[in-house]
């Protein structure tokens, strides 16, 4: 499974990129606003830090304007993927942009039927928001299971990019289901490597090693 960072914070992205484990970045208008930076400059800066796909979301709601914005955003760097919302206009823009060889991430997906339409529109990525479904008492990961089944039934190439991830269980379940990508907030990403027994075991190894008086170098 690929890991994308769900942030527009350059310092966080730089920090995570150094691990060599980061496969891409997703942003959205809220994350861009939170970054405090100018949208096009932020995307250009991220594209210099990361080789993988960088999602940049259009803000128009009509297909023609979405396409115009998408063409402008894709000119920033070859690894920019255009995010469009899952609306009929977004699906029309998706079809037009992918026909031009531009990566498209169809976002704000909350149902299997929406995901089916996005795949038919040629989406490169589909972004189901699991956390927001959990927030209203549904089980967001059930949607990922449904999409995985539907996409496998018909051999759709669209990659399932699990979004709105709130905790490590979302990441584990996404991997168990066979999602292609998890886009994870940096704070959650950093917890994935942590375990209290690892810390405890390492401390014990080092304490016992110290008693030997030896060194490797
Ligand atoms: O990539 C979408 C993500 O940023 C939304 O997350 O927590 O606002 O539902 P959240």
pLDDT tens, position by position, 87-123: 999 999 999 999 999 999 999 999 999 999 999 999 9
Please identify, by atom number, the ligand 1 atom nearest to the C-alpha of residue 183: 1
How far, in whole angstroms, is CA 129 from its chain's centroid? 10
Q: Which residue bears the tokens 């490590």?
A: 168
In terms of Cα–Cα distance, which of 76, 82, 178, 78 is closest to 121? 82
In 3-state terms the chain splits into helix, strand, coil percentages (rounded to 5) of: 50, 20, 30
Distance 189 CA to ligand 1 centre (A): 14
Residue 17 CA neighbour count, 13 Å, CB half: 17
How much is the pTM?
Answer: 0.96
pLDDT tens, position by position, 10-54: 999 999 999 999 999 999 999 999 999 999 999 999 999 999 999
The Cα–Cα gap between 90 and 212 comes to 65
Distance 202 CA to ligand 1 centre (A): 35
């Amino acid at each position: 499974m690929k890991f994308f960072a769900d942030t527009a914070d350059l310092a966080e992205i730089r920090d995570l990129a150094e691990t060599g484990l980061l496969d891409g970045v997703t942003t959205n208008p809220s994350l861009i606003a939170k970054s405090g930076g100018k949208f096009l400059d932020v995307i250009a800066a991220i594209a210099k830090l990361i080789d993988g796909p960088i999602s940049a979301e259009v803000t128009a709601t009509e297909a023609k304007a979405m396409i115009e914005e998408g063409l402008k955003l894709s000119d920033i760097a070859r690894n920019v993927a255009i995010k469009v919302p899952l609306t009929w206009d977004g699906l029309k823009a998706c079809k037009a942009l992918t026909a031009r060889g531009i990566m498209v991430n169809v976002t704000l997906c909350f149902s299997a039927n929406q995901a089916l339409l996005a795949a038919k529109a040629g989406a490169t990525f589909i972004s189901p928001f699991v956390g927001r479904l959990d927030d209203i008492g549904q089980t967001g990961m059930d949607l990922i299971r449904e999409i995985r089944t539907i996409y496998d039934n018909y051999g759709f190439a669209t990659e399932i990019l699990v979004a709105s991830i709130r905790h490590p269980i979302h990441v584990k379940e996404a991997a168990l289901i066979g999602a292609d990508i998890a886009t994870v907030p940096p704070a959650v990403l950093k917890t994935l490597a942590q375990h209290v027994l690892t810390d405890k075991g390492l401390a014990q190894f080092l304490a016992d090693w110290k008693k030997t008086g030896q060194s490797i170098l």
